[in-house]
Structure 1
């Protein structure tokens, strides 16, 4: 058995679960075995992005867990961060022009 953690930060709360899974279990299967879906029914565990210690894992369906892994379940972004920064910069530039 391999000891891992599964983490998800919802809008209103965060959950960290310690889980033991058989050696060779994929990241996605380990998340499914954690039971976290029961606590967050809105999660789509089949397609949601997963990561380990802040780094996205592209092969979550095939990559096997390693002892001590902290699997993170990522939510979809509501807005593109680059677009938000661009809009904020444009708004600040407009305010500066109008104030001068």
Structure 2
């Protein structure tokens, strides 16, 4: 045998009560932009449609008053910085 290489290692840890030090999906100060009209998702300026959950759809905000509720995970311990913007279209 002249060539010995390890090409893949897959590790799985089962039967644990708590996972520690799981890295956050997004780095600090990441910016996510979702454009409902174009059907696009940008994470730090890079297209990332893989962020969309299977079976979900982009939605339009109907005319009139609309309430949008954001529920962060229970481990979030600081206020979120969220900005909404929209453009009115006249038909």
TM above 0.5, yes or no, is no
* Higher relative contact order (Cα pairs below 8 Å, separated by 6+ residues): 1
More strand by share: 1
More helix by share: 1
TM-score by length of structure 2 reads: 0.23
TM-score by length of structure 1 reads: 0.22
